[in-house]
């Protein structure tokens, strides 16, 4: 079953429960700052495991202690509940 693209009202409501996240160019986005590279890479590893379990993978980059994450559901050409579910898991991983 294909994920259903959320409308603007649904996106705004879901975004309210994710402090620090924003929507930019149609993607759910957040930059995290970690203690150092080891901490950033360890958290990215945890996110990779969560994403793989959901079969929903982020677009991301890492520069030393910074991790930038963007989420979108390519098959729906926009944001879906899957993006927000993964964002919540990422939030827990990065903020404990």
The CA distance from 43 to 34, in Å, is 9
The domain total for the chain is 1
pLDDT in tens, the chain (96 residues): 788 999 999 999 999 999 999 999 999 999 999 999 999 999 999 999 999 999 999 999 999 999 999 999 999 999 999 999 999 999 999 997
**CATH (domain of 76):** 3.30.1360.20
Residue 31 and residue 22 in contact, taking contact as beta carbons nearer than 8 Å:
no
- Strand spans (E) along 9-48: 22-24, 27-33
Q: Decide if 1 is inside a domain.
A: no
Q: How many CA atoms lie within 13 A of 11 on its CB side?
A: 19
Q: Decide if 2 is inside a domain.
A: no
pTM: 0.95
Per the structure, the complete domain to which residue 58 belongs is given by 8-95
């Amino acid at each position: 079953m294909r994920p259903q693209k959320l409308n603007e009202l649904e996106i705004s409501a879901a975004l309210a429960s994710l402090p620090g996240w924003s929507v930019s160019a149609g993607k759910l986005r957040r930059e995290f700052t970690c203690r150092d590279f080891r901490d950033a890479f360890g958290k990215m590893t945890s996110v990779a495991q969560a994403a793989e379990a959901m079969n929903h993978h982020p677009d991301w980059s890492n520069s030393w202690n910074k991790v930038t994450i963007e989420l979108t559901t390519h098959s729906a050409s926009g944001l879906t509940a899957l993006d927000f579910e993964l964002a919540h898991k990422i939030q827990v991983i990065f903020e404990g």
